Structure 1
Amino acid sequence: MTALRHRMCGFTLIELLVAIGVMALMAGLTWRGLDGIARTQERVQARADSLLGLQAGLAQWTADLDAIQQAPGFDGVDWDGRALRLTRNTSQEQGSGLVVVAWTRRDINGTGHWIRWQSPPVSTREQLQGAWSRAAQWGQNPGESDKRFEIVLTPLQEWRIFYFRGDAWSNPLSSDSAVPPPPPSAQPNAALPGPRVSNVPEGIRVVLTLPPGGPVAGTLTRDWIKPTVGGGKS
């Protein structure tokens, strides 16, 4: 009788194994649920970061085009098929100098990215010529010293540029779109003159192809219209 009472007060080995198995199953289900929530949060955060990078890039792109200022002997905008270069004001104040800005797409660790480069401010034609040449070199084969002036913005599979001239969009590299620059000055160290934008196209279209499978994918088209033509930006 005493042995029977002791047996009724405890658990058998089978009961303990069943209880442990149920607890393990519940723990596994709970972990899978938490892991799913964490993965969803990571995807949402990655998408948000990608959108912010893309929005920042497009905002800077528009700001650069709005601030274009052309100096004699230089195109206000130049597209060589790989990089787009432009000269722009450093600020809204007149006489504050110019900077050369370049945009390109380059592979970084096997993934294409949209990248922006900007020179230090320049105040003479000689400095502008040097910055203009450095921007071209950076777009083709950047050195480590030039990479210090670049900002990597967003993943990018490919991009295309079109100019709006003569009531039509066209390839900037086609002969119909070419406009000769004004003759250079004979005084390379002279101060830069006031704004001149005769060689800037009436509009610039950028077509961005974002990588498939990423947080943000597909093709995005952004048109910019010269403020003096359309009365405002795109």
Structure 2
Amino acid sequence: MPRAKSAAPRGFTLIELLVAISVMALLSLVSWRGLESMSRATTQNQQRADAVLTLQTTLAQWGADLDAVTTLAQTRPIDWDGRVLRLTRRGSDAATPSVLVVAWTLKPGPDGVRWRRWQSQSFSTRGEWQQAWNMAAAWSQDGGGGAGSQNGGAAGGYSDVTLVPASSWQLYFFRENTWVPASQLPTVAPTPNNPAGPVVAMPDGVRLVITLPPGDGLSGTLTRDWVRPTVGAPRSS
């Protein structure tokens, strides 16, 4: 008796293949979008972390400059003209005592307006202080945003460092138990008890209010208070 032939294996129809290909394409698209979203989130988190670290380092330098302000005979320990803050401070190397001038201001550059810091060479005479003081004022007004000035002026005996992006900043001085908008400080008349005193007295505190522009890192308004150590309060907050 002849055996019945078994049915031939059935293959996929064209419609089934098209459905399978469509499903795989959809899964690939969803997976790609998920990976792209994860990569974008990782990049944004890294940019924010870098911005936070840069800001922390900048504010630490800001506080260190104020902490190290010193007074020399007939000089200005601090000066604010509405554009640049200039300070006379001690050098950071305790083994080799020195004095230098630092300045902070906002200046435009190729990548937008940024907060920048200028530092002179160390000096030992009042004439050298005056020269450095004048150089700091000129630096704040030269509009220098080129690559050369960003890398510092080693040949000119000073350093110029570009810091965080900023759209505006304001300063306040703590005087007579209240915060007031920073302005030119009144001169101090020489007295027999202190004939070698400074031209102006250091305020009891300095408040920084800086606005960080929108971007991939940080944004918003930041307030930073510094209180003179002799006042008996923490140095900064």
Shorter-chain TM-score: what band?
0.7 to 0.9
2:187 corresponds in structure 1 to 180
Task: Compute the displacement of 1:83 (Å).
Answer: 0.9
* Compared CA separation, residues 228 and 161, structure 1 to 2 (3 A): same
Match of 1:52 in 2: 53
Aligned equivalents of 1:129, 1:142: Cα separation in 2:
22
What secondary structure is seen at the aligned counterpart in 2 of 1:200?
coil
Conserved 8 A contact 2:84-2:140: yes
1:195 CA drift (Å)? 9.1
Are the counterparts in 1 of residues 166 and 210 from structure 2 also a CA contact under 8 Å?
Answer: yes
Cα pair 1:88 1:100 within 8 Å, conserved = yes
The aligned residue for residue 136 of structure 1 is: 137
Segments of structure 2 that go 5 or more residues without pairing to the other structure are 153-158, 191-195
Moved more, 95-104 or 213-222: 213-222
- Note the alpha carbon deviations across 1:43-102, whole angstroms, 9 max, x for none: 111111111111111111111000001222321011110110101111263862111111
Partner of 2:210: 208
TM-score (norm. length: structure 2): 0.80
Give the alignment's TM-score, normalised by structure 1. Answer: 0.81
Task: Give the superposition deviation at 1:110.
Answer: 5.8
Q: Is the 8 A contact 1:73 1:181 kept in 2?
A: no
Aligned mate of 2:229, from 204, 227, 230: 227
Given that 1:202 and 1:226 are in contact with CA atoms closer than 8 Å, whether structure 2 keeps it comes out as yes
Determine what percentage of the aligned residue pairs are the same residue: 44
- Residues 115, 213 of structure 1: alpha-carbon distance in 2 compared, 3 angstrom cutoff: same
Code of the residue aligned with 2:21 in structure 1: it is I
Number of the residue aligned with 1:186: none
Deviation at 1:22, TM superposition (A): 1.4
SS in 2 for 1:118: strand
The secondary structure found in structure 2 opposite 1:108 is: coil
CA distance 1:57–1:180, change in 2 (3 Å): same
- Alpha-carbon RMSD across the aligned residues, in angstroms, is 2.7
Q: Which amino acid aligns with 2:174?
A: F
Unaligned 5+ runs, structure 1: 184-193
Cα gap change, 1:195/1:53 in structure 2, threshold over 3 Å: closer, same or farther? farther
SS in 2 for 1:70: coil
Which shifted more, 129-138 or 147-156? 147-156
Aligned length: 218
The CA distance in 2 between the partners of 1:181 and 1:141, in whole Å, is 30
C-alpha distance in 1 between matches for 2:199 and 2:58: 24
2:180 match: 170
| 8 Å contact from structure 2 (residues 173, 179) kept in 1 | yes
Residues 44 and 95 of structure 1, relative CA distance in 2, 3 Å threshold:
closer
Q: Kindly indicate whether the alpha-carbon contact (under 8 Å) linking 2:102 and 2:120 is maintained by their aligned counterparts in 1.
A: yes
